[in-house]
Amino acid sequence: MKVIFHPRFYEVYTSDPAAAPGRMEPMVKALEKEYEFIEPEPASERDLGRVHGKSHIQFVKAEPHVYELGILAAGGSIQAAEMAFEGQPAFGLIRPPGHHASPHSCWGFCYFNNIAIAIKKLLSEEKIKSALILDFDLHYGDGTSNTFSGSISVSYFHPEGTRREGFLEEVRTSLQTERPYDIIAISAGFDRHEEDWGGLLKTEDYFTIGEWARKAALEHCQGRRFGVLEGGYNHSVLGRNVKSFLQGFSD
Ligand SMILES: [Zn+2]
């Protein structure tokens, strides 16, 4: 399992909770001893254009600092997806997050839809024909859902259970979909943790989710899997939560 990270993700590019100072450091600290870190290249405008309209790209460009980090985060997601396709599971420890970024608009601390950009790239290069996106963030990834609405090749699942057991059961069944998929992509938001906004999941639940995703990938798509960071705002628990997930998700 490789972690895709760039030191520029420490930079505070705006004033929302995803961009808060000190958010990335505890995650890096929790992972850097166990996993090899790899620096991504920024995504190209062509990469962005597979998901986003020209005017949306121009809109984000108007804030150069946000744009620079946005294309770096999208590039990190692409890198994780490409490594996963080649048989090396990977996690994009990136920000800004992406799942609230739709083709022509964005909100909720997101600018470009990192996971959608990565999946569209693999599809357009005909490396994959289909994908399963599991989003366990507290919030519904409307941007990802909008990007792939009507798609027969990409399934988007966002479990919504308000009780812990029910939520986990939804995660488990979503991975057992009858629809075939060539890769599993995880929008990993940790804001549903019991000490974060959602107040629901325990740290070990992220291990369980990671393990189920790993097993499903081995069973359905030759182990091809990657994840990218979405939400998660309690800096004091983010490190152990992301670590727990990766321990289940890696071989
Ligand atoms: Zn969220």
Backbone angles phi, psi at 169, to 5 degrees: -65, -40
Please give the distance, rounded to the nearest whole angstrom, from the Cα atom of residue 82 to the centre of ligand 1: 25
Please give the distance, rounded to the nearest whole angstrom, from the Cα atom of residue 21 to the centre of ligand 1: 18
pTM of the entire predicted model: 0.98
Q: Which residues of the chain have pLDDT under 50?
A: none
The pLDDT value given to residue 104: 98
Q: Among residues of the chain, what percentage have pLDDT more than 70?
A: 100
Please give the distance, rounded to the nearest whole angstrom, from the Cα atom of residue 231 to the centre of ligand 1: 4
Say if residue 26 is preceded by a cis peptide, omega within 30 of 0.
no
Sequence-separated (6 or more) residues with CB below 8 Å from residue 217: 89, 183, 184, 223, 224, 225
Task: Please calculate the CA angle 106-237-202 and round it to the nearest 5 degrees.
Answer: 95
The pLDDT value given to residue 233: 98
Q: Dump pLDDT digits (tens) for 186-195.
A: 999 999 999 9
Q: Dump pLDDT digits (tens) for 18-70.
A: 999 999 999 999 999 999 999 999 999 999 999 999 999 999 999 999 999 99
The pLDDT value given to residue 221: 97
Please give the distance, rounded to the nearest whole angstrom, from the Cα atom of residue 125 to the centre of ligand 1: 30
Please give the distance, rounded to the nearest whole angstrom, from the Cα atom of residue 94 to the centre of ligand 1: 14
Please give the distance, rounded to the nearest whole angstrom, from the Cα atom of residue 99 to the centre of ligand 1: 9
